[in-house]
Amino acid sequence: MNKGKQRRSPRPEPEQTLRGLVVKNTGSWYVVRPEGGGALVECKIKGNFRLKGLRCTNPVAVGDVVAVDLKPDGTGMIARIEPRRNYIIRRASNLSKEFQIIASNIDQAVLVMSLLSPMTNTTFVDRFLATAEAYDVPAVLVINKVDLLTGPASRAVLDETTQLYRSIGYRVVHTSTVSGEGLDELREVVGHRVSLLSGNSGVGKSSLINQLVPGADLRVGEVSHVHHKGMHTTTFSEMLDLPGGGALVDTPGVKGFGTIDFERSQVAHYFREIFALGQGCRYGDCTHTHEPGCGVLQALERGEMALSRYQSYLSIIDEDPDNKYRKPQ
Ligand SMILES: Nc1nc2c(ncn2[C@@H]2O[C@H](COP(=O)(O)OP(=O)(O)O)[C@@H](O)[C@H]2O)c(=O)[nH]1
Ligand SMILES: [Mg+2]
Ligand SMILES: [Zn+2]
């Protein structure tokens, strides 16, 4: 037998694969930046990813490191997600059983708020902070539009809000994209880190990004990028590189992230001052709502804890038996 004449079975085409970072999620496409450089690759998802048994509408998130199988047409299929250092998820819509991962592998969450046009409500802020605590993501507050706070009354609100959150231990930065105040401080806060930027619409997120990321050229004054597909809200998010290192993750259309998966008894852990005051409660399982000898209720009565924070706490655990602390509708 002549070995040379043996028929070779056709060798399968070696599958081209690469590893990269997901830098954009449009809802239908994921844009992956290959490790070590090269052109961005538009990808779809292969198969089914689940997250701890939760149904996810967008299982791959900006910030994920992924393995991609390349197709001959230059697009890719995301085949695997590397383990995440952290991630932030939210319900796809109110009452929905499906979840969206907003971002993963982030160093900090920056909440942009404003006290005038629009006024960010404190419950929104506190829920954001509590969620960040729950996910172990450091949070920073940015109060934008401080140029609008000129009168003594609005200055007093600015001081009070700032002092409140600083006293709990959060960094609070004042900014204005109009006067330029605080922009250098904000550059320093976000430099060399990956920051998730959130905030209700109109507070000036796009304006701030335009100041921090030259060439970002985001549209200002736009409320959208949210598409309602039946019950689902799909959102796109994008990672924008900062010139000096680090990146901002912009999530237009994501107002904030709700409080999901909170064990009722855990909520107090996510309010730093309530957790600290709770050390003085008579009962170890105190819910800080009605119990005698409650360190939190005592601090409230003495005016040593902000009522707004306590109301936010109650809004999450949804308990206020005497309706004593409930904000009027
Ligand atoms: N007075 C004032 N207006 C601002 C400031 N930053 C943004 N704006 C305005 O607020 C509106 C909403 O800004 P935009 O960046 O689109 O907010 P976004 O919805 O959070 O992205 C626009 O009309 C901006 O010009 C600021 O620092 N001061
Ligand atoms: Mg915007
Ligand atoms: Zn208590």
Cα 115 to middle of ligand 2, angstroms: 17
Which CATH number belongs to the domain containing residue 288 in this structure? 1.10.40.50
Q: Looking at residue 101, what is its pLDDT?
A: 83
Range of the domain at 179: 102-250
Among 135-139, 215-219, 261-265, 282-286, name the one with the lowest average pLDDT: 261-265
64 and 197 co-located in one domain: no
Q: Is residue 329 part of a domain?
A: no
Residues with CB under 5 A from ligand 3 (ion): 281, 286, 288, 294, 296
Average pLDDT value for residue range 87-99: 71
224 and 288 co-located in one domain: no
Q: Is residue 95 part of a domain?
A: no
114 and 182 co-located in one domain: yes
Is residue 145 lining ligand 1, measured as CB closer than 6 Å?
yes
Res. 94 pLDDT band, cuts 50 70 90 = low
116 and 214 co-located in one domain: yes
151 and 117 co-located in one domain: yes
101 contacts 89 by C-beta, under 8 angstroms: yes
Q: Is residue 324 part of a domain?
A: no
202 and 312 co-located in one domain: no
Q: Is residue 308 part of a domain?
A: yes
Q: Given its phi and psi angles, is residue 182 left (phi above 0), alpha (psi -120 to 50 degrees) or beta?
A: left
Residue ending a domain, choose from 197, 223, 250: 250
Which CATH number belongs to the domain containing residue 219 in this structure? 3.40.50.300
171-212 per-position pLDDT tens digit: 999 999 999 999 999 999 999 999 999 998 899 999 999 999
Measured CA to CA, the distance from residue 121 to residue 129 in angstroms comes to: 13
Q: Is residue 258 part of a domain?
A: no
Evaluate if residue 318 carries a pLDDT over 70: yes
Q: Looking at residue 10, what is its pLDDT?
A: 64
The upper half-sphere exposure of residue 47, i.e. CA atoms within 13 Å in the direction of its Cβ, equals: 8
Among 34-38, 66-70, 253-257, name the one with the lowest average pLDDT: 253-257
- The three-state secondary structure class of 24 is strand
Residue ending a domain, choose from 197, 228, 250: 250
Q: Looking at residue 231, what is its pLDDT?
A: 39
Residue ending a domain, choose from 250, 275, 302: 250
243-284 per-position pLDDT tens digit: 999 999 998 766 656 556 677 788 999 999 999 999 999 999
Domains contained in the chain, number: 3
Q: Looking at residue 8, what is its pLDDT?
A: 64
- Return the structure tokens found at 109: 């969450």
Query: Angle formed by the axes of helices 183-190 and 205-212, to 10°?
Result: 80
184 and 62 co-located in one domain: no
64 and 23 co-located in one domain: yes
The secondary structure of 206-231 as a DSSP string is: HHHHHHHSTT--PPSS----EEEETT
**Judging by DSSP bridges, how do beta strands 76-81 and 41-45 pair with one another?**
parallel
- Return the structure tokens found at 34: 């290959």
Evaluate if residue 232 carries a pLDDT over 50: no
Q: Is residue 9 part of a domain?
A: no
Q: Is residue 89 part of a domain?
A: no
% of the chain beyond a pLDDT of 90: 66
Query: What residues does 285 pair with on adjacent strands?
Result: none
Average pLDDT value for residue range 90-115: 84
What is the pTM (predicted TM-score) of this model?
0.87
Which atom number of ligand 1 is nearest to the Cα of residue 201? 19
Q: Looking at residue 54, what is its pLDDT?
A: 65
Query: What residues does 234 pair with on adjacent strands?
Result: 227
Cα 92 to middle of ligand 3, angstroms: 34
246 and 282 co-located in one domain: no
Cα 224 to middle of ligand 1, angstroms: 14
Is residue 256 lining ligand 1, measured as CB closer than 6 Å?
no
- Choice between 326 and 190, residue whose per-residue pLDDT is larger: 190
Which CATH number belongs to the domain containing residue 26 in this structure? 2.40.50.140
76 and 210 co-located in one domain: no
Q: Is residue 96 part of a domain?
A: no
43 contacts 64 by C-beta, under 8 angstroms: no
Res. 52 pLDDT band, cuts 50 70 90 = low
110 and 229 co-located in one domain: yes
Is residue 252 lining ligand 1, measured as CB closer than 6 Å?
no
226 and 289 co-located in one domain: no
